[in-house]
Structure 1
Amino acid sequence: MRQIDKADGQRHIRASRQGRSAGPGRWLAITAVTGAAGLLIAACSSGSPAPTTPAASHSAAKASASASAAAARAQLHISPGDGHHNVNPSKGIKVTSASGKIQSVTVTSGHQTVSGSFNGAHTVWRNQWALQPSRNYTVQATAVNSSGTRITSTSSFHTLTPGASDTAMIFEGYKQSYGVAMPIRITFSSPVTNKAAVEKALQVSSSKPVTGAWYWDGNQTLYFRTMNYWPANTTVSFDGHLNGVEASAGVFFTADLTQTFDIGPSLVVVASTKTHYLNVFYKGKQWGHWPISTGRPGLDTVNGTYITLEKGNPVRMVGNGYNELVNDAVRFTYSGDYLHSAPWSVGEQGITNVSHGCVNLSPQHAAMYYNLATPGDPVTVTGSPHTGKWGDGFTVWFLSWKQLLKGSALGQAVQVTSSGSTFVSPSSVTQTPATARLAGPKPDNYAAQ
């Protein structure tokens, strides 16, 4: 038996305690209840939508915001991505807009900011110099997409801590004055294999415009030499934005390098081993035509354009058959060639070559030259039966302009102004190598390598 009770306005179906089957009547009752529920559902569907609970509304809004953020990130991409660690600082930052133009990019690391630039279409932004190792960076970018919607994206990441480092040193001293042939010389504590990356990190500025090029002498020495001599009375600044640059695989620079120095008055000398005379040009005018004696046969003073390295008064000179204190000595090769006072050979000066390889001058002329000389003054030797040896002093002026360009990893010329330097194609350079002695060495020295 079954019994249907009403309690609290609801109907309940209660099976009797007897173990009989409900039979057809039971199935009819269940069907009736199910049918009634169906009528209720149909009635609800034909009316107004059911109210959404607060929890469901919040969940939907959160999902929508998440989808919008994902869409924004897809349209405005920042690399390295948010949360990345051990980022290679030399790879830099790249912000890309897939739709519309980038309006602004701000990169900070503590109180420091990072500079960069856009491409012409304002769809890509890159930082200018390498990032610093072992630092946290935050990038905030804003763009306006093609539909006019403002999009923002942010990324925070941490650069790696190098396992090995390289250091760079510059030859020139702060606020020191040098001659018009002085190249910038940078030396590195370990071999550099990423030479192009290093060149790109270097900036030169000059109070007077010049054209030059970088030249690698091996893997640990880098020169910047001008096409022609520096203009006299020029201030030169060097900025090596090296911190974070990967010198070789896994080896990074961890500091920048800067220096400022001056180019003084022009002092150029040309020694002829054939005529036995030295032509001296000071401040653009011929200042002297002095008799000299150069290296005797077998000890010849060799061809090439060198620069003065140092001077001393007196200098102890020791060699095969001599040990002398020599006055007013100006050195131009590592192997020991000087322009110096030689009172013992005055009778031969202007007539014949009797020295051990140095350029002998009278005491009066040697003192005059010594008082003007500074490191970096060009010294050219001509007329010798032999050419100079590469690396015996600062010998980058042995190179022609074309040879100089071949020593650059980028193969480009560098145009220098007061606001900095720019890499340019050599074919776009309008300046030409000078052949006048006051501006640069003549082609007869190019073979001296």
Structure 2
Amino acid sequence: MYGSHRTPQDRPARRTRHLAVAVLAAAAGLLATGCAGATPVATQLNPQAVAGQAAQTVAKHLKISPAPGTVNANPSAGITVSALDGFRVTKVTVRTGGDPVTGSLSSDGKTWHSTWALDVAQSYTVIAAGTDSQGHPVTATSTFRTLTPGQSFQTEIYEGLDATYGVGMPIMLTFDQPITNKAAVERSLQITTSKPVIGAWYWDGDEALDFRPRDYWPADTTVTLDGHLDGVEGASGVFGTQDLTQTFDIGQSLIAVASTTAHHTLIYVDGKLKYDWPISTGRTTMPTPDGTYLTVNKGNPVRMIGGTKGTPGYYDELVNWAVRFTFSGDYYHSAPWSVVDQGVTNVSHGCVNLPPADAEIYYKMAVPGDPITITNSPKGGDWDDGWTEWFLDWSQYLAGSATHMAVEAGPDGSTFVSPSSLPADTATAPVGTSVPDNYLAG
């Protein structure tokens, strides 16, 4: 009958890992042939000799930014190569002792830009190959160094390496400094999934950023986050100084729905109703709050403390098969003392009381991130009392993104797309997604 408890369990520590990215292919050497009478002659062309043009003239038409000799380039701006006046860019090579640099060339050959921010405090040499208006090969080179920031930010991810989570689990990032250039940070993050996923990023204040799918994750999905954060300017003058990568798994679909009026919980496994168990939820004075929550952690046993020591109603008990879903102390747990009330009336202090055998079954299946929905309660749920990302519907979640863009992820990585371009959402509650406004009082 216990609920709304203080426990000694703390939220697990978050960890960072350094990112390695793919290498761009090197540019080829530049040779051209010409004619002298009937005899072909091979002539090497370079910025000092391109159809009689001086190096300074070539540089004006094949421009590299940052410019040669720059010693404090802003790494968040990346590298840009631009061709003007009939010139075209054909290939760009970047040499550095830091992370390899990739980039993309525009379809018209006029512009090449690096994909991610550059590393801080790092030297780069850029060799740009192209052609002039007559098709002669040209090259331009820039060697520069990025700035060493006076201030930096660090990023941690909640998910552990190779761990398994439930289908509701968000990717949760925290920053040790307030982030104001939020869109830049979002755009530095790439998600790779073994199955196609549509989702979005959501800022919960200035130091917490979460990714949530539009609907629950597909079961048995492998997820990798690559945060290209080294060199990103998260706030004015505050730069990321290391990348972040993590891989984890989404396991089976385990969905629990508890009705405070029907006094039963339905348990869906991989999309099918598997169990219907009697329960007792919070009594009238301590109702279990409505909302779609996620399992946070579990313990067997868990020490539950409620009330004030020395006053009526105080308790300090060990409770078995306990799965937590709010930070304030609500659990699905075994309650042999209330079996007679389960399925009939509500007598707990806020928890969901289960018959011991049923509580054990659920406990052994549960992992962090499994959705738990409480319905028909006279009390509404509180934002951030647990992992409450599924309190929000899709449009509300999108509104929390600095880019206001959706993310399409798959085996080849992720891209930002307009929400209006997405296919219609066909997922249905409770097994595919959450119900809008589920946290409101019944």
TM-score bracket for the superposition, by shorter chain length: 0.7 to 0.9
* Among 332, 348, 361, the residue aligned to 1:368: 361
Q: How does 1:148-163 map to 2 (within 5 A)?
A: 148-163=135-150
- The Cα of 1:149 is off from its aligned counterpart by 2.1
Displacement of 1:444 in angstroms is 4.3
Matching residue of 2:206? 219
Q: Per-residue displacement from partner, 1:100-135 (whole Å, max 9, x unpaired)? A: 321111111137531100112110000000000111
Pair 1:251 & 2:238 matched = yes
The answer to whether 1:140 aligns with 2:127 is yes
Asked whether the 8 Å contact 2:392–2:437 carries over to 1, the reply is no
The aligned runs of 1:105-116 (5 Å cut-off) are 105-110=92-97, 113-116=100-103
Which position in structure 2 is the counterpart of 1:95? 81
Separation in 2, partners of 1:68, 1:268: 70
Deviation larger for 97-106 or 64-73: 64-73
The amino acid of 1:268's aligned partner reads I
Q: Distance in 2 between matches of 1:66 and 1:150?
A: 13
Structure 1 unaligned residues grouped into runs of 5+: 1-61
> For residues 414 and 63 of structure 1, what CA distance do their matches in structure 2 show?
47
- Whether 1:323 aligns to 2:316 is yes
Paired residue secondary structure (1:90): helix
The 1-side partners of 2:417 and 2:103 are apart by 20
Q: Hey, what's the Cα distance between the residues in 2 that align with 1:129 and 1:248?
A: 17
Give per-residue Cα distances to partners, 1:52-91, cap 9 Å, x unaligned: xxxxxxxxxx999996111100110011100011111001
Measured against aligned partners, the alpha-carbon deviations of 1:336-356 in whole angstroms (never above 9, x if no partner) come to: 000000111111111111100
Structure 1 residue 407 corresponds to structure 2 residue 397: no
Task: In structure 1, give the amino acid aligned to 2:292.
Answer: T
Q: Give the match for residue 187 of structure 2.
A: 200
CA contact (8 A) 2:170 2:210 kept: yes
CA distance in structure 2 between the partners assigned to 1:444 and 1:71 by the alignment: 63
Q: 1:447: how far off?
A: 4.3
* Structure 1 moving runs of 4+ over 4 Å: 62-67
| Counterpart residue type for residue 315 of structure 1 | V
Cα distance in 1 between the residues matched to 2:51 and 2:271: 73
The answer as to whether partners of 2:63 and 2:140 remain within 8 angstroms in 1 is: yes
* CA spacing shift, 1:407–1:447, aligned 2, 3 Å: farther
Matches of 1:312 and 1:93, distance apart in 2: 51
- After superposition, give the CA deviation of every residue in 1:377-401 in whole Å (9 maximum; x if it has no partner): 0000000112100000100000000
Is the contact between residue 267 and residue 274 of structure 2 (CA under 8 Å) also seen in structure 1? yes
Partner in structure 1 of residue 372 of structure 2 = 379
Q: 1:386–1:144: structure 2 CA closer, same or farther, 3 Å change rule?
A: same
Q: How does 1:288-367 map to 2 (within 5 A)?
A: 288-320=275-307, 321-367=314-360
Q: Is the 8 A contact 1:348 1:354 kept in 2?
A: yes
For each residue in 1:313-346, what CA deviation from the matched residue of structure 2 results, as whole angstroms up to 9, or x when unmatched?
A: 0000000222110000000000000000011111
| Farther-moved stretch of structure 1 (106-115 vs 250-259) | 106-115
- 1:264-298 deviations in whole A, cap 9, x for unaligned? 11110000001000000112211110000000112
Q: Kindly indicate whether the alpha-carbon contact (under 8 Å) linking 1:267 and 1:280 is maintained by their aligned counterparts in 2.
A: yes
CA contact (8 A) 1:400 1:446 kept: no
CA distance in 1, matches of 2:102, 2:183: 21
One-letter identity of the residue aligned with 2:210: Y
Report sequence identity in percent: 55
AA at the equivalent of 1:204: I
Name the CA shift for 1:67/1:144 in 2 (closer, same or farther; >3 Å). Answer: closer
Which of 101, 105, 119 in structure 1 is aligned with 2:106?
119
C-alpha contact 1:174 1:261 (8 A) present in aligned 2:
yes
| Residues 112 and 384 of structure 1: CA distance in aligned 2, closer, same or farther (over 3 Å) | closer
Is 1:166 the counterpart of 2:138? The answer is no
Query: Which structure would you say has the larger RCO, counting Cα contacts within 8 Å and 6 or more residues apart?
Result: 2
User: Post-superposition shift, 1:443?
Assistant: 2.3
Structure 2 CA distance for aligned equivalents of residues 446 and 101 of structure 1: 57
Partner-residue secondary structure (3-state), 1:445? coil
* Residue 229, structure 1, aligned to residue 222, structure 2: no
Aligned with residue 229 of structure 2, among 208, 221, 242? 242
For 2:299 and 2:49, the matched residues in 1 are separated by 80
Amino acid at match of 1:158: R
State the TM-score, normalizing by the size of structure 2. 0.85
CA distance in 1, matches of 2:405, 2:426: 16
Equivalents in 2 of 1:63, 1:364: separation in Å? 84
Q: Secondary structure at the match of 1:113?
A: coil
CA distance in 2, matches of 1:145, 1:278: 72
- Structure 1 SS opposite 2:177: coil
CA 1:446–1:427 in structure 2 vs 1: closer, same or farther (change >3 Å)? farther
2:59 aligned counterpart, secondary structure: helix
Which amino acid is the alignment partner of residue 83 of structure 2?
Answer: S
Report the number of matched residues. 387
In 2, Cα distance between equivalents of 1:78 and 1:342: 70
Letter in 1 for 2:140: S
The 8 Å contact of residues 168 and 186 in structure 1, kept in 2 or not, is answered as yes
- Contact 1:227–1:433 at 8 Å: present in 2 too? no
Aligned counterpart in structure 1 of residue 66 of structure 2, from 66, 69, 80? 80
Larger Rg: 1
Counterparts of 1:206 and 1:155, CA distance in 2: 37
Instruction: Summarize the Cα distance change of 1:293–1:421 in structure 2 as closer, same or farther, 3 Å threshold.
Output: same
TM-score, normalised relative to structure 1? 0.84
Which residue of the partner structure matches residue 14 of structure 1? none
Cα displacement (A) at 1:145:
1.6
SS of residue in 1 equivalent to 2:127? strand
Secondary structure of the structure 2 residue equivalent to 1:187 = strand
Name the amino acid aligned to 1:348.
D
2: distance between equivalents of 1:444 and 1:277? 21
Residue pairs, 1:1-16, within 5 angstroms: none
3-state DSSP of counterpart to 2:54 = helix
Which structure features the higher share of helix residues? Answer: 1
RMSD of aligned alpha carbons: 1.6
> Retained in 1: the 8 A contact 2:151–2:237?
yes
In 2, are the aligned partners of 1:267 and 1:281 still within 8 Å (CA)?
A: yes
Indicate if the aligned counterparts of 1:435 and 1:443 stay in contact, CA closer than 8 A.
Answer: no
